[in-house]
Amino acid sequence: MPTNEILAVLLIVSFVALLFAGVRVAYAIAAAGFVFGFLGFGTTLFNLLPARIYGVATNYTLLAVPLFVFMGVLLEKSRIAEDMLDVMGHLAGRLPGGMGIAIILVGVMMGAATGIVGATVVTLGLIALPTLLKRGYHPGLASGAICASGTLGQIIPPSLILILLADLMQESVGTLFAAALMPGLMLAGLYVIYLLVLGQIKPSLSPPLSEEELNSLSRGQLLVEVFRGVLPPLALVFAVLGSIIGGVAAPTEAASMGAFGAILIAALARKLSLRVLQETMRETLKTTAMILFIIMAAQVFSLAFRGLSGEDLIAEFMALVPGGVWGTIIFLMVLLFILGFFLEWIEISYIVLPLLLPFFQQAGVDMVWLATLICMNLQTSFLTPPFGWALFFLKGVAPPEVKTLEIYKGVIPFIGVQIVGLGLLMLFPDIATWLPRSIGWLK
């Protein structure tokens, strides 16, 4: 009979093989866990499984997931994001690169509203890409700005990955939200600086709006549009995040307030209809079911891997990585960056991270800072050719004249900006820890 350690290695290998064979992630991870757990322990190991799955199903924190998804999807389906982009474009349109900056700012607000990369990229791709091309933007630059802006939802709260990491790391959701806020805004600021500099160096790539278009709205009309199209969703985001970070409301309570607020905003904007509500609920159900199904399937894998002494193997392997704790952190960042080419963030969160996090917890690494690094890292991997998910999302909705190669070339500078942001966060942990420490979430 093979030893438990060999079975633990075969467990991981079989899961990867099933993935490359085209088996869906939830089925692959559960099948590998059941087979090798049974080979190691028979049926006794899985006596704990019902309690594990029940724990997921009754986890109060995870109740925030469908509510935040509902809030974001409703703002997308009701086309409120379209109004925001139009108004922000007029506000920044006099600058070379101004429309690109508007897209980044809308991406920040949509990221704070949805937390779903695919929804944001597709929405901005449908709304903004044809408009940018019509206004003379280079296809690569326009594509890169949309993809980069869309991925901000990975790190800007209330990102879904932050909610799941809080559950994995046994940290407060409010603490992780507070820790991720400044790095997310820093990254958006770096994007804006890049677009401003590029607009000054090569204005032909991102020309300003024409005088005719700028004068299509008077100052009074523009002010009305700001109050009507930008301030309500912005106020909703601040109310939701502020109530969580300030400790006024639990994440689930704030998420329910956000879902109700999104309904109210859509209704006041006269964009709430039965069709929009049905589409929102259907999309919310699909997304939530996918997330929870993978989490439950991951319990099988986790139970088998721990029972087969897989955690000891990981600890021994990480001890071999040169450079001490910093070496293992860099190794984790490189590993997550590569895995992001092939796996969705939810799969990485509930398959890979549970294997590695115990080592960092025992090594005394600040888990709040590490969670923020993980979020920004996974965000970077969404952009990387040839497998970055954001690229696929955009290509699916881009006009035919925008070639895949142009999208790939367009995101490369933004990947460089993200790596700079990740490096700054690694060198200066206070970017992440200052806010939660200032408000008393961290000691």
User: Domain limits of the chain?
Assistant: 53-300+310-438
The pLDDT of 149-173, averaged and rounded, is 83
Tell me which residue of 314, 298, 306 sits closest to 356, measured CA to CA: 314
Q: What percent of the chain has pLDDT over 70?
A: 91
pLDDT at 41: 80
What is the DSSP annotation of 315-358? Answer: HHHHHTSTTHHHHHHHHHHHHHHHHTTTS-HHHIIIIIHHHHHH
Which two three-digit tokens encode residue 187?
């990254």
In whole angstroms, give the CA distance from residue 265 to residue 273: 12
Higher pLDDT, 115 or 240: 240
Helix-, strand-, coil-residue percentages of the chain, each rounded to 5: 80, 0, 20
Lowest mean pLDDT among 80-89, 288-297, 374-383: 80-89
The pLDDT of 234-244, averaged and rounded, is 80
Which two three-digit tokens encode residue 35?
């087979």
Could you tell me which residues come within 8 angstroms of residue 387 by beta carbon, excluding any fewer than 6 positions away? 341, 342
Q: Give the predicted TM-score (pTM) of the model.
A: 0.80
pLDDT tens digit sequence for 400-437: 888 888 888 888 999 999 999 999 999 999 999 998 88
pLDDT-derived band at 1, boundaries 50, 70, 90: very low
Residue 151 clears pLDDT 70, i.e. is over it: yes
Residue entry with tokens 């959701």? 173
The pLDDT of 30-49, averaged and rounded, is 82
Which two three-digit tokens encode residue 50?
């019902």
- Dihedral sign from CA coordinates of 272, 273, 277, 283: negative
In whole angstroms, give the CA distance from residue 222 to residue 417: 32
pLDDT-derived band at 308, boundaries 50, 70, 90: confident
Q: Indicate the DSSP class of residue 152.
A: G
